[in-house]
């Protein structure tokens, strides 16, 4: 049991809360106002929420100890991700735990909508028997337009196929192969709107999807279309939808979510053609267990000093590549830490070049780059730098960060080179991963080395003439520091050379001041890596 404190501010399944309770102190406090949350959030290292808590910039400003926000569900639009990222707070969700629940709810809503089941239920319960008033339409052979073909959209297509609907889908990042496998026709929105009998949205709520269904898109739709929203309020312009239902353009809508929840006094809710549920898409026993357990485990991973499995505000490495990338990330962090100790001046730019097999990591280099930045910035910044805020911390300080890949690998199977430019100098360090547990610094500037990064080192640049190295060793010896290893690299005899000394303890500044005064030594730095 640790001293960490975690706040659970929405109703979470016991299975998740119990896991956390074995690890740390857990407070479950639901229904807090923003002010109430601001008042207490400073005491917690972890915060677990569903859609009921707005994690605003104001809340985060007061979250002095917070390391982790877990969203027990998919959508993270209730969390100010920029503010969390700026503070280095890891935000993670449970993206697949409620996919089937939301998909089945969508299906239930579509069927209820097509057969007026909620309205008919209410009518019978009111003592009526109005069979002709509730004439429905069949799903068979109808066109289902799916906007957003991610996890839920794809599961829905599978089930709609079984109902013999014809599915068309729009998604700017669509997996065409998957769509073809599922017999789904990929189309643009302009093609989807005029042909669909049912339109269902399954996108996140982001700038691009806000009011994606609006007056203009409704004008493109078939008269008599039915709309389903089990994703997020805000994707549909509720006023435009209400107008179109009243005008008879849209036959009905099934809404699980609203722009403001609960949707008090909204005209759309009162329309008889609208059926609705109070954001129940994820509310199944199974889904709630899945998502609560997922975020509880991720919370523990982060509080233990690791990363989370489904981080949404930092680059994520696919699970099957994590083992391969880990030594590169470890090496990059060490290289960054070494480099920062070899430079003077205000840092202007950092470039990380990936060569040989290291160039094969595709977008995953982002993860490695952030760890290199962490290595560089940790020693010079007060606030903690991590995988979440490393890039932000660099750019905020005017440091340009870039990545490049090269086929040039200087004879190594893989090589990473970090070059740092300051307002007064430029320095670079290259590293190689020879096996999962063997990482090496193979060059400093233009000089080849073979150094295992770790411990205490002295790195000098000096003229390659007799006597320099001897004086060097004598000074270090007088300060009682043992030299454990030495490497000297030079490009040409008598010219500039580089020396890397591995030492068994920190070299005092006084010794370094004497070393730089040795005739022939141009720079000498002690570094701990």
Q: Which of the stretches 47-55, 296-304, 320-328, 488-496 binds ligand HPV when contact is defined by CB under 6 A?
A: 47-55
State yes or no: residue 97 binds ligand NAI (CB under 6 A).
Answer: no
Q: Please, which residue, 48 or 515, has the CB nearer to ligand HPV?
A: 48
How many residues are recorded in the chain? 529
For the bound state, the minimum distance from the C-beta of residue 169 to ligand NAI, rounded and expressed in Å, comes to 9
Q: Is 337 in the site for ligand NAI (CB under 6 A)?
A: no
Among 16, 46, 73, 520, binds ligand HPV (CB under 6 A): 73
| b/e code 437-458 from CB counts within 10 Å (16+ = b) | eebbbbbbbebebebebeebbb
Closest approach of ligand NAI to the CB of residue 498, in Å: 50
Cβ nearer to ligand NAI, comparing 75 with 489:
75
Site string for ligand NAI, 52-81 (x = CB under 6 A): ---------------------xxx------
Pairing mode, if any, of strands 166-170 and 143-147? parallel
The question of whether 105 is a catalytic residue gets the answer: no
- Residue 489 in the binding site for ligand HPV (CB under 6 A): no
Q: Is 51 in the site for ligand HPV (CB under 6 A)?
A: yes
Long-range contact pairs involving 167-176 (C-beta distance under 8 Å, separation at least 24): 167/143, 168/143, 168/144, 168/192, 168/195, 168/196, 169/145, 170/145, 170/146, 171/147, 171/203, 174/149, 175/149
Question: Which 80-99 residues touch ligand HPV, going by CB under 6 A?
Answer: 98
Site for ligand HPV contains 46 (CB under 6 A): no
**Measured from the CB atom, is 75 or 88 closer to ligand NAI?**
75
Phi first, then psi: give them for residue 181, nearest 5 degrees.
-55, -35
Residues 453, 458, 464, 467, Cα dihedral to 10°: -140
Under the binding rule (CB under 6 A), the answer on residue 13 touching ligand NAI is: no
H, E, C per residue of 186-223? ECCHHHHHHHCCEEEECCCCCHHHCCCECHHHHHHCCC
- The count of chain residues that interact with ligand HPV, using the rule CB under 6 A, is 12
Which listed option, ligand NAI, ligand HPV, none, makes contact with residue 217 (CB within 5 to 8 Å by class)?
none
d(CA 176, CA 90): 32
230 near ligand HPV (CB under 6 A): no
Angle, alpha carbons 349-352-355 (nearest 5°): 155
Among 21, 118, 195, 204, binds ligand NAI (CB under 6 A): 204
Of 275 and 282, which CB lies nearer to ligand NAI in the complex structure? 282
By DSSP bridging, strand 414-422 and strand 347-356 are: antiparallel
Look up residue 507 and give its DSSP letter.
Answer: P
Minimum separation from the CB atom of position 300 to ligand NAI (A): 24
Please tell me whether residue 209 binds ligand NAI under the rule CB under 6 A: yes
Catalytic residue, candidates 50, 166, 279, 525: 279
Q: Which of 64, 138, 261, 383 is catalytic?
A: 261
Positive/negative CA dihedral, 50, 54, 60, 64:
negative
Footprint (CB under 6 A) of ligand HPV, residues 261-290? 279, 281-283
98 binds ligand NAI (CB under 6 A): yes
Which of 65, 85, 67, 94 has its CA nearest to residue 370?
85
Beta bridge partners of 456: 503, 528
User: d(Cα 243, Cα 229) in Å, to the nearest integer?
Assistant: 17
Residue 444 to residue 442: CA distance in whole angstroms: 7
Contact positions vs ligand NAI (CB under 6 A): 73-75, 95, 98-99, 102, 147-153, 170-173, 202-205, 208-209, 230-232, 256-257, 279, 281-282
Contact positions vs ligand HPV (CB under 6 A): 50-52, 72-75, 98, 279, 281-283
Catalytic residues: 232, 261, 279
């Amino acid at each position: 049991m640790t001293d960490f404190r975690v706040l659970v501010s929405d109703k979470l399944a016991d299975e998740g809360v119990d896991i956390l309770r074995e690890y740390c102190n857990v407070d479950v406090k639901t229904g807090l106002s923003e002010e109430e949350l601001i008042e207490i959030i400073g005491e917690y290292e972890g915060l677990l929420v569903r859609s009921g808590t707005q994690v605003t910039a104001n809340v985060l400003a007061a979250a002095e100890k917070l390391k982790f926000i877990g969203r027990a569900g998919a959508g993270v639009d209730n969390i100010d991700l920029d503010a969390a990222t700026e503070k280095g707070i890891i935000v993670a969700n449970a993206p697949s735990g409620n996919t089937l629940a939301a998909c089945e709810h969508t299906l239930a809503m579509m069927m209820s909508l097509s057969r007026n089941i909620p309205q008919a239920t209410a009518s019978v319960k009111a003592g009526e028997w109005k069979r002709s008033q509730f004439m429905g339409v069949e799903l068979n052979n109808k066109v289902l337009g799916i906007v957003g073909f991610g996890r839920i959209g794809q599961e829905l297509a599978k089930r709609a196929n079984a109902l013999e609907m014809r599915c068309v889908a729009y998604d700017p990042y669509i997996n065409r192969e998957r769509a073809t496998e599922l017999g789904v026709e990929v189309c643009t929105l302009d093609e989807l709107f005029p042909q669909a009998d049912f339109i269902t949205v399954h996108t996140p709520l982001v700038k691009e999807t806000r009011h994606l269904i609006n007056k203009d898109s409704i004008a493109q739709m078939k008269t008599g279309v039915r709309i389903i929203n089990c994703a997020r309020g805000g994707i549909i312009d509720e006023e435009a939808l209400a107008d179109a239902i009243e005008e008879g353009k849209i036959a009905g809508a099934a809404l699980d979510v609203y722009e403001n929840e609960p949707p008090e006094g909204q005209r759309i809710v009162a329309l008889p053609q609208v059926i609705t549920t109070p954001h129940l898409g994820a509310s199944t026993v199974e889904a709630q267990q899945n998502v609560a357990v997922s975020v509880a485990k991720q919370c523990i991973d982060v509080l233990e000093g690791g990363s989370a499995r489904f981080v949404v505000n930092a680059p994520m490495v696919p699970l099957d590549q994590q083992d391969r990338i880990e030594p590169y990330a470890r090496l990059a962090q060490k290289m960054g830490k070494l480099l920062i100790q070899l430079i003077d001046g205000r840092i202007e730019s950092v470039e990380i070049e990936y060569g040989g097999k290291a160039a094969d990591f595709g977008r995953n280099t982002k993860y490695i780059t952030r760890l290199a930045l962490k290595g560089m910035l940790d020693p010079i910044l007060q606030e903690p730098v991590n995988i979440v805020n490393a890039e932000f911390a660099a750019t905020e300080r005017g440091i340009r960060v870039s990545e490049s890949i090269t086929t040039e690998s200087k004879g190594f199977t893989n090589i990473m080179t970090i070059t740092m430019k300051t307002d007064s100098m430029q320095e670079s360090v290259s590293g190689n991963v020879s096996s999962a547990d063997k990482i090496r610094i193979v060059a400093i500037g233009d000089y080849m080395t073979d150094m295992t990064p770790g411990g205490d080192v002295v790195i000098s640049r000096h003229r390659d003439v007799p006597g320099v190295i001897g004086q060097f060793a004598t000074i270090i010896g007088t300060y009682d520091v043992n030299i454990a290893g030495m490497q000297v690299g030079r490009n040409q005899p008598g010219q500039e050379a580089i020396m890397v000394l591995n030492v068994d303890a920190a070299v005092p500044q006084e010794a370094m001041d004497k070393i730089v005064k040795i005739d022939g030594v141009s720079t000498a730095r002690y570094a701990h890596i």
